[in-house]
């Protein structure tokens, strides 16, 4: 028999712990497995709690946190895209560009040009 999981995020302790870890570790850690290890949970259990609370997978929330931070850097600094990618612990700028484009529909440089003029 499966256990029901509370849907409201403020009552879902696991989901809140994940979000707290995400807020402090997203720049250096983008793998769901690392968060599972920090919380001592299986991937399935973590995703079950996170989806119940936020309606999204843990992986998607990680990617959204990375892209949100990158958007802020693109909008409010003049740092190069490559510097932002390295701050987010990407080994290759192309991997950062690919993630950003997949999540936003535009390349980082396009995003900066469109929203800072």
**Range scoring the smallest mean pLDDT among 10-14, 33-37, 44-48, 57-61:** 10-14
Phi first, then psi, for residue 19 (nearest 5°) are -60, -40
pTM of the model: 0.88
pLDDT digits (tens, 9 = 90+) for 8-39: 555 789 999 999 999 999 999 999 999 999 99
For tokens 């895209």, what's the residue?
A: 81
Residue 37's alpha-carbon distances to 13, 43, 46, 47, in angstroms, are: 16, 9, 10, 13
pLDDT of residue 1: 45
From CA 116, how far away is CA 112, in angstroms rounded?
6
What tokens appear for 105 in the block?
A: 């529909």
Q: What is the DSSP letter of 28?
A: T
Instruction: Count helices and strands (H / E) in the chain.
Output: 7, 0
Mean pLDDT score, 73-78? 96
Give the SS3 label for residue 9: helix
């Amino acid at each position: 028999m499966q256990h029901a999981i509370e849907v409201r995020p403020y009552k879902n302790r696991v989901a809140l712990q994940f979000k707290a870890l995400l807020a402090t570790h997203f720049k250096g850690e983008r793998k769901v497995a690392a968060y599972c290890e920090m919380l001592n949970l299986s991937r399935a259990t973590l995703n079950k709690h996170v989806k119940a609370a936020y309606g999204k997978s843990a992986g998607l929330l990680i990617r959204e946190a990375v892209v949100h931070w990158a958007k802020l850097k693109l909008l409010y600094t003049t740092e190069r895209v490559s510097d932002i990618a390295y701050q987010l612990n990407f080994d290759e700028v192309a991997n950062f560009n690919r993630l950003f484009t997949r999540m936003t529909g535009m390349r980082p440089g396009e995003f900066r040009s469109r929203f800072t003029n």
